[in-house]
Amino acid sequence: MVGVGQFPKFADQYYGVQEGTDASTLGKLFLIPTAETPVANIHREEILAESQLPIFYCAYTPAFAARPGRRAWARAA
């Protein structure tokens, strides 16, 4: 999340989760608002050769977002 510029700037727009009743795990795992967030880190700190391109990925998320007025269904293109 830090590598793609989401944290710490947008940390308040993510839902932190905890594992069971263990409160010490809260804030270590998050529900992500868009699938692009984890996909953007796949080739972080790599230099890709032109022969490797294009690379295609498919990602899915149910779009958990904590921003006011945000609705996943309203973003359908």
Question: Closest Cα partner for 15 from 60, 61, 66, 73?
Answer: 66
Q: How far is CA 64 from the centre of its chain?
A: 10
Q: What is the pTM of this model?
A: 0.54
Sequential DSSP letters for 18-53? -STT-GGGBTTEEE-S-THHHHTTTTTT----GGG-
Number of Cβ atoms within 10 Å of the Cβ of 9: 10
Sorted by where each begins, the domain ranges of the chain are: 11-66
The tokens of 51 are what? Answer: 């022969």
Question: Please, which pLDDT band fits residue 37 given cuts at 50, 70 and 90?
Answer: confident
pLDDT at 52 over 90: yes
